[in-house]
Structure 1
């Protein structure tokens, strides 16, 4: 049993959500919030939590909206847009009485961390983001990418159709299996790994949140009124000025590793970039040591910035 599984799932209300989360470490510890992606769940961070847990850190690992026991309380809670994901982080911190935290994530979770760090820098002590700057340029959604890249994003276009919505509803686990295999071709995940994560896909809002996320980012669905102003600010591609460590998986099958230069202009504070060889998109589960080390690195950068 991993350390994360030894802790009960807690719940707290945060505006449009009842958020389910794990809480590891002393309440007075330095907060670290770990944010999972799609189609994954908090168990991507099981080994990372073991590596980080000590008497000075408080580690919060929530289920994102539409996943696990995190439930929507109104229509805003069923939006999948990027502003909603970022606002969720800040609202969770408000509910828990956390002023500032290190935010670390991948995929949807990396996007949530980037949004929160860009729009609420005073609440972010530092950020770790896999595949770099993840704030979406929705105005450019109609611009085509290289065909090989488009092929890997098949599910974006599948989910744009009602056939895709129905397919996700009846095939949540198998769609995840295909995405995992493409995202991480060198990761020998097991059926047990997939089944553990897939339990989080049984959330009644899962399909609606996922479908809205992909349609909204392609400019095919409107956002919720609650997030209009935040999306307006995100359209300007705001910079992130807190200490940042970005990571690329050297074996990511959908998002090839880079030297980070292409998005470095968005990180205007202290920024370091690393490529982790042999690792795909689910970097914290595939190489928890590297992900935990990145959190330690950004904590050091944050301490240096305060001096």
Structure 2
């Protein structure tokens, strides 16, 4: 598989709230593919996927999410929200700003959430979806219900972020903390430790802490959302189905959200849908399994 021999061009586009930094590969006239990272990751997760898609003639765009890398809020008045509606609106605004009427999307974790929401609420904008770990739309109304003890144990970092100690800890030790999450979430990924240093600088963004803290507080109803995004959150309350062609890739060794043996998300997809559980792969599924991810994307692009 092709890999990057030189840095991809870094471009910027302005939306109503962000100057979004994004890397681009391939011809401008190519069919668009948007690749979305999660927490705590960045576009480096697609370094073995984007160039190969570009070689096949696709226009590949890999944005830095709000709070990561060179992406910046346009002013101090914009709420540093990390809620799911903000991530989805950013994706939609990104596509609008670049005059992209429809794209194939791939995303996991935060990026997968954005991709799933746009696919569910604006299906005409999405040709196909490769999602890390299935249906990633949060059911916030049910979030405060206690879970199994093993699940609660894996979510320790979220509860840490609910406290001022967590805010201070993430501020002071963001690189060490995120490196720990990489190790815990992808325990069998041998290359992970050597690749972490390529991604860690993205966490030095001045809004990283604020966006991360809000994300994990909002999903448990411990922080209010951005009023301007409430219409999206309300549209997500009934957990809308995703009708676009979709492939779900799940890491069998995911240390934060291991997949169940039975596919619990199958009823959330009303169109073509297939799920793959990948042995030896953890949470960072696309970077750990780039060939499987590429094959899934090409299958949808060639349908």
TM-score (norm 2): 0.96
In structure 2, what is the Cα distance between the partners aligned to 1:130 and 1:54? 24
Taking structure 1 as reference, are residues 280 and 241 closer, same or farther at Cα in structure 2, changes over 3 Å only? same
- Structure 2: gaps (5+ residues): none
Taking structure 1 as reference, are residues 32 and 4 closer, same or farther at Cα in structure 2, changes over 3 Å only? farther
In structure 2, what is the Cα distance between the partners aligned to 1:250 and 1:188? 15
In structure 2, what is the Cα distance between the partners aligned to 1:95 and 1:113? 17
In structure 1, what is the Cα distance between the partners aligned to 2:289 and 2:9? 25
Which residue in 1 is equivalent to 2:65? 64
Taking structure 1 as reference, are residues 232 and 3 closer, same or farther at Cα in structure 2, changes over 3 Å only? same
In structure 1, what is the Cα distance between the partners aligned to 2:146 and 2:106? 29
In structure 1, what is the Cα distance between the partners aligned to 2:6 and 2:87? 24
| 1:190 shift after superposition | 5.1
Taking structure 1 as reference, are residues 163 and 5 closer, same or farther at Cα in structure 2, changes over 3 Å only? farther
| 1:5 shift after superposition | 4.5
Which residue in 2 is equivalent to 1:246? 248
Q: Is residue 22 of structure 2 the alignment partner of residue 10 of structure 1?
A: no
In structure 2, what is the Cα distance between the partners aligned to 1:242 and 1:4? 34
Q: Map Cα deviations across residues 5-37 of structure 1 (whole Å, 9 max, x no partner).
A: 432211110110000000101111111100001
In structure 1, what is the Cα distance between the partners aligned to 2:172 and 2:137? 30
Taking structure 1 as reference, are residues 224 and 103 closer, same or farther at Cα in structure 2, changes over 3 Å only? same
| 1:261 shift after superposition | 2.6
Map 1:1-307 onto structure 2 (within 5 A).
Answer: 2-3=3-4, 5-74=6-75, 75-76=77-78, 78-189=80-191, 191-259=193-261, 261-300=263-302, 303=303
Local SS of the residue matching 1:84: helix
**C-alpha RMSD over aligned residues:** 1.5
In structure 1, what is the Cα distance between the partners aligned to 2:218 and 2:203? 20
Q: Is this contact kept in 1: 2:25–2:51, CA < 8 A?
A: no
- Structure 1: gaps (5+ residues): none
TM-score (norm 1): 0.94
In structure 1, what is the Cα distance between the partners aligned to 2:120 and 2:276? 21
Taking structure 1 as reference, are residues 16 and 253 closer, same or farther at Cα in structure 2, changes over 3 Å only? same
